[in-house]
Every structure is written in structure tokens, then in C-alpha cells.
Amino acid sequence: MDGSLHEIVVLDGDISTNEKLEGDVSLEGSLTAEVYAPKYIEKYTDKVRTDTTEGWNSLTGYISEEGVVYIYSDYKQNEDGENIPGFKVGDGLAYLADLPFSDDLMERHIRNQDIHVTLAEKQFWNNKVRTYHEGNTENIVFTTN
């Protein structure tokens, strides 16, 4: 893509411009004209790119472009074998292959066994012996309940 939009869009509403607008006005009151998208729209027309993991990995030595979102269409799969996309955001400095996926930080946090309590640890703690004083007696009850 060369950064320009090649699509006809029907606009409904008011159009204002600081530039010259050329075209033809029909008897029905409609205007047919060529309108150029403002620079801020043109700036983002090629900022999202999609490919498979194999496709992206074939670009060895490719330096990411700053601000471009690179979507890996087959990043992961669910239990039914359906593809789940993942993405990286280019910084203009790193190789695309070296950029982290957007969910890397969350994945590392979830898998961090030092900060999370496992089910086995919970069961171990729940099975600890505790004691309590039984009513108005001199009995101390030891229990795991």
C-alpha cells in the first residue's frame, strides 16, 4: 500500500475544507467530487499489517517500523484448534522477531510461581491442625476441620 486510500465512500452530512473542492453538482443537489483525505488519516493507512507466524519469521533481519502494529494471525490456538491472533508494536529499532508480543508481560505474571499461591499450597494450609478451647471445660480440641 502506498499510503493512499483507494475506496469510494458515501458521506452523509456536512463537509468543510480549507482547500479547493472540485466536482459537479447534479440537479438533485448532490455533489460528485474527488476529496483528499486529511493528512492525519493518510498517516495511519498502513500502520496495521497481518501475516502468519511463518510469514513474519521469514523476514529475517527485518527491523520493525515505529508505531506499526504487526498481527500474527495464528499466534496461539484455542482448545478447538482455532487461531487466536497476537500482536507486536514496532519501535523502529528492534528486529521484528525480537519484539515482545503484547501479552508477554501478563503471561510472565500469570506463570510466576513465586507470587501466586498454588492449589496444592492452599490445600496444605487448609489441612493444618488448629486448636480451640471447648466450652466451659478444660479440654483443648486439635482438629484439621
Residue 84's CB is within 10 A of a number of other CB atoms, namely 11
Query: Would residue 4 count as lying in a domain?
Result: no
What is the structure's pLDDT at 127? 79
The tally of domains found in the chain comes to 1
Query: Would residue 60 count as lying in a domain?
Result: yes
What is the structure's pLDDT at 86? 93
Instruction: Please tell me which residue, 29 or 113, carries the higher pLDDT value.
Output: 113
d(CA 5, CA 37): 8
Query: Would residue 13 count as lying in a domain?
Result: no
Is the pLDDT at 19 greater than 80, yes or no? no
Q: How confident is the model at residue 117 (pLDDT cuts 50, 70, 90)?
A: confident
Query: Would residue 90 count as lying in a domain?
Result: yes
What is the structure's pLDDT at 75? 94
**What region does 10 belong to: left with phi over 0, alpha with psi -120 to 50, or beta?**
beta
Q: DSSP code of 88?
A: E
Nearest Cα to Cα of residue 75 among 46, 110, 104: 104
Q: What's the whole-model pTM score?
A: 0.51
Is the pLDDT at 4 greater than 80, yes or no? no
Domain that holds residue 45: 23-143
Query: Would residue 9 count as lying in a domain?
Result: no
Query: Would residue 119 count as lying in a domain?
Result: yes
d(CA 132, CA 27): 94
Query: Would residue 107 count as lying in a domain?
Result: yes
Q: What is the dihedral of CA 78, 80, 83, 89, to 10 degrees?
A: -10
What is the structure's pLDDT at 62? 94
Instruction: Please tell me which residue, 55 or 135, carries the higher pLDDT value.
Output: 55
Query: Would residue 33 count as lying in a domain?
Result: yes
Pairing verdict, β 31-33 and 23-25: antiparallel
Instruction: Please tell me which residue, 141 or 28, carries the higher pLDDT value.
Output: 141
CB 86, CB 103: distance < 8 Å = yes
What is the structure's pLDDT at 2? 41
Q: How confident is the model at residue 42 (pLDDT cuts 50, 70, 90)?
A: low
What is the structure's pLDDT at 1? 37
**DSSP-based three-state secondary structure for 5:** coil
CB 75, CB 88: distance < 8 Å = no
